[in-house]
A and B are shown apart, each in its own frame.
Chain A
Amino acid sequence: GQSLEQPSEVTAVEGAIVQINCTYQTSGFYGLSWYQQHDGGAPTFLSYNALDGLEETGRFSSFLSRSDSYGYLLLQELQMKDSASYFCAVYSMGVGGSYIPTFGRGTSLIVHP
Protein backbone atom coordinates (compact mmCIF):
# COMPACT_ATOMS: atom_id res chain seq x y z
CA GLY A 1 0.00 0.00 0.00
CA GLN A 2 0.90 3.64 0.08
CA SER A 3 1.67 5.91 3.01
CA LEU A 4 2.50 9.59 3.11
CA GLU A 5 3.68 11.72 5.99
CA GLN A 6 3.58 15.48 6.23
CA PRO A 7 3.49 17.76 9.27
CA SER A 8 0.03 18.53 10.55
CA GLU A 9 0.65 22.23 11.11
CA VAL A 10 3.23 24.88 10.27
CA THR A 11 3.19 28.51 11.38
CA ALA A 12 5.16 31.44 9.98
CA VAL A 13 5.05 35.22 9.67
CA GLU A 14 4.32 37.32 6.63
CA GLY A 15 7.29 37.69 4.33
CA ALA A 16 9.03 34.58 5.63
CA ILE A 17 9.93 31.35 3.83
CA VAL A 18 8.42 28.04 4.85
CA GLN A 19 9.09 24.47 3.76
CA ILE A 20 6.49 21.70 3.98
CA ASN A 21 7.96 18.21 3.78
CA CYS A 22 6.38 15.05 2.45
CA THR A 23 7.82 11.57 2.81
CA TYR A 24 6.19 8.61 1.16
CA GLN A 25 6.25 4.86 0.83
CA THR A 26 4.73 3.39 -2.28
CA SER A 27 5.28 0.81 -4.95
CA GLY A 28 5.41 1.93 -8.54
CA PHE A 29 6.00 5.63 -7.83
CA TYR A 30 5.20 7.86 -10.78
CA GLY A 31 5.13 11.43 -9.52
CA LEU A 32 4.28 13.81 -6.70
CA SER A 33 1.82 16.71 -6.73
CA TRP A 34 1.03 19.53 -4.33
CA TYR A 35 -2.42 21.06 -3.84
CA GLN A 36 -3.64 24.03 -1.83
CA GLN A 37 -7.04 24.08 -0.17
CA HIS A 38 -8.57 27.04 1.66
CA ASP A 39 -11.25 26.40 4.27
CA GLY A 40 -14.51 25.62 2.52
CA GLY A 41 -12.85 25.61 -0.88
CA ALA A 42 -11.80 23.03 -3.43
CA PRO A 43 -8.20 21.85 -3.79
CA THR A 44 -6.21 23.77 -6.40
CA PHE A 45 -3.14 22.47 -8.19
CA LEU A 46 0.24 23.96 -7.32
CA SER A 47 2.93 21.73 -8.82
CA TYR A 48 3.96 18.31 -10.06
CA ASN A 49 7.36 16.57 -9.94
CA ALA A 50 8.10 13.38 -11.81
CA LEU A 51 11.89 13.74 -11.89
CA ASP A 52 14.42 14.63 -9.21
CA GLY A 53 15.03 18.31 -8.73
CA LEU A 54 13.39 21.62 -8.15
CA GLU A 55 10.41 23.05 -10.03
CA GLU A 56 9.77 26.76 -9.56
CA THR A 57 6.50 28.58 -10.17
CA GLY A 58 6.49 32.12 -8.89
CA ARG A 59 6.69 32.21 -5.11
CA PHE A 60 6.19 28.44 -4.88
CA SER A 61 8.79 25.77 -5.57
CA SER A 62 8.58 22.01 -5.25
CA PHE A 63 11.41 19.52 -4.88
CA LEU A 64 11.58 15.78 -5.33
CA SER A 65 14.18 13.16 -4.46
CA ARG A 66 13.01 9.78 -5.71
CA SER A 67 15.92 7.94 -4.08
CA ASP A 68 14.95 9.36 -0.67
CA SER A 69 11.17 9.06 -1.26
CA TYR A 70 10.95 12.69 -0.20
CA GLY A 71 9.64 15.94 -1.50
CA TYR A 72 8.92 19.40 -0.23
CA LEU A 73 6.97 22.50 -1.08
CA LEU A 74 8.74 25.82 -0.53
CA LEU A 75 6.71 28.96 -0.15
CA GLN A 76 8.54 32.28 -0.28
CA GLU A 77 7.49 35.82 0.60
CA LEU A 78 4.57 34.48 2.59
CA GLN A 79 1.30 36.38 2.42
CA MET A 80 -1.74 36.15 4.67
CA LYS A 81 -3.69 34.59 1.79
CA ASP A 82 -1.29 31.63 1.85
CA SER A 83 -2.94 30.44 5.07
CA ALA A 84 -4.51 27.18 3.91
CA SER A 85 -4.04 23.43 3.93
CA TYR A 86 -1.40 21.95 1.66
CA PHE A 87 -1.59 18.36 0.46
CA CYS A 88 1.06 16.24 -1.16
CA ALA A 89 -0.24 13.50 -3.44
CA VAL A 90 1.73 10.56 -4.76
CA TYR A 91 0.86 8.95 -8.08
CA SER A 92 1.24 5.20 -8.34
CA MET A 93 -0.22 2.51 -10.53
CA GLY A 94 -3.68 1.24 -9.71
CA VAL A 95 -4.99 -2.27 -10.30
CA GLY A 96 -6.34 -1.20 -13.67
CA GLY A 97 -2.96 0.00 -14.92
CA SER A 98 -3.66 3.72 -14.58
CA TYR A 99 -1.77 6.12 -12.36
CA ILE A 100 -3.91 7.34 -9.51
CA PRO A 101 -3.13 9.76 -6.66
CA THR A 102 -2.98 9.08 -2.95
CA PHE A 103 -3.24 12.26 -0.90
CA GLY A 104 -1.59 12.94 2.42
CA ARG A 105 -3.52 14.20 5.43
CA GLY A 106 -2.47 17.76 4.75
CA THR A 107 -0.46 20.47 6.46
CA SER A 108 -2.28 23.47 7.87
CA LEU A 109 -0.20 26.59 7.22
CA ILE A 110 -0.96 29.55 9.45
CA VAL A 111 0.59 32.86 8.43
CA HIS A 112 0.73 35.56 11.10
CA PRO A 113 1.10 39.28 10.42
Chain B
Amino acid sequence: DTGVSQNPRHKITKRGQNVTFRCDPISEHNRLYWYRQTLGQGPEFLTYFQNEAQLEKSRLLSDRFSAERPKGSFSTLEIQRTEQGDSAMYLCASSHPLAAGKYNEQFFGPGTRLTVL
Protein backbone atom coordinates (compact mmCIF):
# COMPACT_ATOMS: atom_id res chain seq x y z
CA ASP B 1 0.00 0.00 0.00
CA THR B 2 1.58 3.27 -1.09
CA GLY B 3 -0.97 5.58 0.48
CA VAL B 4 -0.73 7.71 3.62
CA SER B 5 -0.64 5.60 6.75
CA GLN B 6 -1.42 6.59 10.32
CA ASN B 7 -0.81 4.80 13.60
CA PRO B 8 -2.46 3.94 15.82
CA ARG B 9 -5.90 3.82 14.24
CA HIS B 10 -7.60 4.10 17.60
CA LYS B 11 -6.42 5.49 20.91
CA ILE B 12 -8.30 5.58 24.20
CA THR B 13 -6.69 7.50 27.00
CA LYS B 14 -7.54 9.05 30.32
CA ARG B 15 -7.75 12.77 30.80
CA GLY B 16 -4.37 14.24 31.65
CA GLN B 17 -2.32 11.64 29.78
CA ASN B 18 -0.05 12.41 26.85
CA VAL B 19 -0.60 10.79 23.47
CA THR B 20 1.46 10.66 20.28
CA PHE B 21 0.29 9.83 16.78
CA ARG B 22 2.39 8.97 13.75
CA CYS B 23 1.83 9.75 10.08
CA ASP B 24 3.78 8.26 7.18
CA PRO B 25 3.09 10.25 4.01
CA ILE B 26 3.42 9.05 0.43
CA SER B 27 7.15 8.78 -0.16
CA GLU B 28 7.75 11.55 -2.70
CA HIS B 29 5.36 14.01 -1.02
CA ASN B 30 7.20 16.84 0.69
CA ARG B 31 4.11 18.59 2.05
CA LEU B 32 2.35 17.24 5.12
CA TYR B 33 -0.75 18.50 6.92
CA TRP B 34 -2.44 17.60 10.20
CA TYR B 35 -6.17 18.10 10.72
CA ARG B 36 -8.72 17.41 13.42
CA GLN B 37 -12.25 16.36 12.55
CA THR B 38 -15.25 15.98 14.84
CA LEU B 39 -18.62 14.50 13.96
CA GLY B 40 -20.58 16.62 11.54
CA GLN B 41 -17.71 19.00 10.87
CA GLY B 42 -15.15 19.41 8.16
CA PRO B 43 -11.44 18.82 8.77
CA GLU B 44 -9.94 21.63 10.86
CA PHE B 45 -6.40 22.62 9.90
CA LEU B 46 -3.83 22.16 12.67
CA THR B 47 -0.38 22.47 11.15
CA TYR B 48 1.61 22.22 7.90
CA PHE B 49 5.12 21.02 7.07
CA GLN B 50 7.15 21.47 3.95
CA ASN B 51 9.95 18.93 4.21
CA GLU B 52 11.12 19.17 7.83
CA ALA B 53 10.08 22.80 8.31
CA GLN B 54 6.85 23.56 10.17
CA LEU B 55 5.61 26.54 8.16
CA GLU B 56 2.10 27.00 9.50
CA LYS B 57 0.32 26.38 12.77
CA SER B 58 -3.30 27.17 13.50
CA ARG B 59 -3.79 30.18 15.75
CA LEU B 60 -6.50 28.20 17.52
CA LEU B 61 -4.13 25.40 18.41
CA SER B 62 -3.41 25.02 22.10
CA ASP B 63 0.23 24.91 23.20
CA ARG B 64 -0.51 21.39 24.47
CA PHE B 65 -0.26 20.31 20.82
CA SER B 66 3.11 19.88 19.15
CA ALA B 67 4.15 18.32 15.88
CA GLU B 68 7.46 17.30 14.38
CA ARG B 69 8.79 16.03 11.09
CA PRO B 70 12.44 15.52 11.93
CA LYS B 71 13.79 14.15 8.66
CA GLY B 72 11.14 15.39 6.29
CA SER B 73 9.53 11.98 6.07
CA PHE B 74 7.19 10.75 8.81
CA SER B 75 5.57 13.15 11.26
CA THR B 76 4.36 12.89 14.83
CA LEU B 77 1.62 14.83 16.58
CA GLU B 78 1.73 14.93 20.37
CA ILE B 79 -1.02 16.09 22.68
CA GLN B 80 0.00 16.73 26.26
CA ARG B 81 -2.37 16.67 29.24
CA THR B 82 -5.29 15.51 27.14
CA GLU B 83 -8.75 16.89 27.77
CA GLN B 84 -12.14 15.43 26.88
CA GLY B 85 -12.51 18.13 24.24
CA ASP B 86 -9.53 16.66 22.40
CA SER B 87 -11.62 13.62 21.46
CA ALA B 88 -11.75 13.64 17.66
CA MET B 89 -10.42 12.02 14.51
CA TYR B 90 -6.90 13.24 13.74
CA LEU B 91 -6.17 13.18 10.03
CA CYS B 92 -2.89 13.48 8.22
CA ALA B 93 -2.59 14.41 4.56
CA SER B 94 0.29 14.78 2.14
CA SER B 95 0.75 16.35 -1.27
CA HIS B 96 3.30 16.25 -4.06
CA PRO B 97 5.48 19.33 -4.62
CA LEU B 98 4.27 19.62 -8.20
CA ALA B 99 0.66 19.80 -7.04
CA ALA B 100 1.16 23.08 -5.21
CA GLY B 101 -0.55 25.97 -6.91
CA LYS B 102 -1.91 23.76 -9.65
CA TYR B 103 -4.45 21.40 -8.26
CA ASN B 104 -3.43 21.21 -4.60
CA GLU B 105 -4.54 17.61 -4.29
CA GLN B 106 -4.08 16.27 -0.80
CA PHE B 107 -4.06 12.55 -0.05
CA PHE B 108 -5.54 11.78 3.34
CA GLY B 109 -4.68 8.93 5.66
CA PRO B 110 -7.32 6.85 7.47
CA GLY B 111 -6.96 8.89 10.65
CA THR B 112 -6.40 8.17 14.32
CA ARG B 113 -9.55 8.24 16.41
CA LEU B 114 -8.79 9.61 19.88
CA THR B 115 -11.15 9.10 22.80
CA VAL B 116 -10.34 10.87 26.04
CA LEU B 117 -12.18 9.47 29.05
Seen from chain A, the residues whose Cβ lies within 8 Å of a Cβ on chain B are 31, 33, 41-45, 48, 50, 87, 89, 91, 94-106
Contacts and interface: CB of A to CB of B under 8 A. Distances in A.
B1 to A, nearest CB: 13
B16 interface: no
Contacts, number: 65
Q: How large is the interface on B (under 10, 10 to 19, 20 to 34, 35 or more residues)?
A: 20 to 34
In the complex, which of the residues B43, B44, B91, B108 has the most CB atoms of chain A within 10 Å of its own CB atom? B43
B21 interface: no
Contacts of B101: 50, 99
Contact of A103 (B44, B56, B105): B44
B55 A43 contact: no
Contacts of A87: 42-43
A42 B50 contact: no
A44 B108 contact: yes
- 9 closest Cβ contacts across the A-B interface? A103-B42, A42-B108, A94-B56, A45-B105, A48-B103, A96-B55, A96-B56, A87-B42, A98-B55
Interface string B44-69: 11001010000111010000000000
Contact of A100 (B41, B48, B91, B110): B48
A98 B59 CA distance: 14
Nearest to A6: B42
B45 A48 contact: no
B25 interface: no
Contacts of A43: 43, 91, 93, 106, 108
